[in-house]
Amino acid sequence: LIRRQMQDEFLKLQQMLHKSIVFITHDFLEALRIADRMAIMHDGAVVQIGSPTELVLNPADDYVSEFTSEVPRARVLAAADVMDPTASPGGDRPVVSGEAKLEEILPLLAGHEAGIAVTGEGDAVIGIVTPKSVIAALAATG
């Protein structure tokens, strides 16, 4: 099996079992694909535990900051992380889940300068993602 196929099988197994699984890897991008929470260790001690977004945006120390420095933010940040919750959702806009990663919505956003509506629980619109908000988030340094 190639790595991607193994990850797919792992995700299927996790869905089937409905259990928490500890998966150890040194590849942060692999962990992004399969984990909703991560722990980063240094010298045998846990340095930080959190979601991928928390680790990238709010590193606990210089080690975590360095460890996550090369992670593409578009793979970590979700629409809800960069939306404007005060923007009016009016107009004919595409709609995405607040959990959708930026790398998934960038092609859709490219064709809609007015932005994309973001939904939360119950499919209620909770904000708008604009090209400007995405560029600002991707350009920010942690």
What does pTM read for this prediction?
A: 0.78
The three-state DSSP-derived secondary structure of 62-118 is HHHHHHHCCCCHHHHCEHHHHCECCCCCCCCCCEEECCCEHHHHHHHHHCCCCCEEE
Please work out, in degrees rounded to the nearest 5, the angle formed at the alpha carbon of residue 110 by the alpha carbons of 108 and 115. Answer: 75
Residue 59 pLDDT grade (very low, low, confident, very high; cuts 50, 70, 90): very high
pLDDT digits (tens, 9 = 90+) for 68-80: 988 999 999 999 9
The confidence score (pLDDT) of residue 22 equals 87
**Which two three-digit tokens encode residue 5?**
């196929």
pLDDT digits (tens, 9 = 90+) for 36-50: 899 999 999 999 999
With respect to CATH, is domain 79-139 assigned 2.40.170.20? no
Q: Structural domain boundaries of the chain?
A: 3-71, 79-139
What are the CB-based long-range contacts (under 8 Å, 24+) for 32-41?
A: 32/71, 32/75, 32/76, 33/7, 34/7, 34/10, 40/64, 40/67
User: Is the predicted pLDDT of residue 133 greater than 80, yes or no?
Assistant: yes
